[in-house]
Structures are given as structure tokens and as C-alpha cells.
Amino acid sequence: MSDAVKILAFAGSARLDSFNKKLVKIAAAGARDAGAEVTFLDFRDLPMPLFDEDLESQSGLPANVLQFKKLLKTHDGFLIACPEYNSSITPLLKNAIDWASRPEPEGNPLAHISPFRGKTAAIMSASPGALGGLRGLVHVRAILGNIGVLVIPDQRAVGNASQSFDDTGNLKDNEQRNAIRDIGVKLATITTKLAT
């Protein structure tokens, strides 16, 4: 497994019963089946303060920000499930990205984006609404692209999420479940090809 690409899977939600956490875990299973080593990150376990440059100036980067940056740097690709808030990215996810893009005292002018530059990502969403969070994915894709992440074209938005998952956290609809798993497979496959 030492030659396997490493994928970090997370959702832009801290909610315990988050639809998007369930969704990204399905994609993560697909990535594992394709030979990737997958780490699941729950932002509830890694709380970060609201970005504040005065706080950064006084105390440096918070410990959880440094831990998040380390996770990003030590993985080759990212599986990201993105809830939609008011047709856009969640504050939690944007805050994490903003903190992780801050420079470290390394002397490298690109150090602030080094956790992202040259990495791959796949994005998806689930929402109780009919569009499944699709409008927010446009913004997530743009943000990631602007900081050097290659976001694969394949994405999926699962609507009516409150009725879409069973008691085990799996999607009830086989076609939807397979489509989400395939996104994980595709990310792992593309990331592996780029790494060789």
C-alpha cells in the first residue's frame, strides 16, 4: 500500500448527521476500491477560529490550522462534499481553505498555496433542496482552481437528501450510489496516473 496515492476526504459541514459526510464516505469507498489510501477528516474534530489576521499576527497559525495544512500537504488528492448555503460555499469550508492558504515562515513565496498546488480534487454535494447543492459547487470549483487544484470534471449533486439516505448512511438509489462511488474511483485513477 506504500505506493498508493493518498486521498483526503472531508465535508464542509460539522453537523453530526451531515448528508455530505455520508456522501463523501461513499466516494471514499470507491477511491479505496481503486487502490487509494483514504483518510476521512471530520471538521468537528478540528475546529478552527474564524479567520482573523490580527490573531494570526499575534499568535501565528492556530494548531488545528497547522494540522489541517499538514493533512493537505501529505495527501495527493481531495474528495470534498460541499453543502450549499445561500447558493454558495459554506462558511466552515471557506474558512478552512482561507486559513490553510496562509503562508508559513518557510521563505517560499508560494508556501501559502503549497498545500493545494498540484493536487487533484473531486467535488460533490447533497441537499434537502431539489438541486442538491449544485449552485454551491460552481463556487467551490472556482476557488479550488484559483489556488492550484486540478478539479476533475465529474461531479454529482444529490437532491432531496433527507429522503435519499438509508439508516446506514448509504444512498438508497443504486444509480446515485454508484455515481458517487465512481467519482471516488475516477479521482483515485487520475491521481495515480498523474503521480507516475
For 106, other C-beta atoms within 10 Å of its C-beta total 10
DSSP collapsed to 3 states, 9-40: EEECCCCCCCHHHHHHHHHHHHHHHCCCEEEE
Cα 150 from Cα 116, distance rounded (Å): 9
* Residue 25, in any domain of the structure: yes
What distance, in Å, lies between the first and last C-alpha atoms of the chain?
A: 15
Cα 102 from Cα 98, distance rounded (Å): 7
* Residue 136, in any domain of the structure: yes
pLDDT tops 70 at residue 108:
no
Element containing residue 92 per DSSP (H, E) = helix 91-100
Chain segment 46-66, per-residue pLDDT in tens? 999 999 999 999 999 999 999
pLDDT at 1 (0 to 100): 44
At 130 the three-state DSSP class reads coil
Q: Residues 88, 97: contact at Cβ < 8 Å?
A: no
Q: Residues 191, 120: contact at Cβ < 8 Å?
A: yes
* Residue 57, in any domain of the structure: yes
Q: Count of domains in the chain?
A: 1
Q: Grid coordinates in use for 41?
A: 477528516
* Residue 104, in any domain of the structure: yes
* Residue 180, in any domain of the structure: yes
| Domain assignment of residue 104, given as a range | 6-195
Cα 73 from Cα 160, distance rounded (Å): 35
CATH number of the domain bearing residue 134: 3.40.50.360
At 142, the pLDDT band (50, 70, 90 cuts) reads: very high
Mean pLDDT (whole number) for 16-44: 98
Cα 128 from Cα 131, distance rounded (Å): 8
pLDDT at 103 (0 to 100): 85
* Residue 188, in any domain of the structure: yes
* Residue 1, in any domain of the structure: no
* Residue 10, in any domain of the structure: yes
Chain segment 78-104, per-residue pLDDT in tens? 999 999 999 999 999 999 999 999 987
For 58, other C-beta atoms within 10 Å of its C-beta total 8
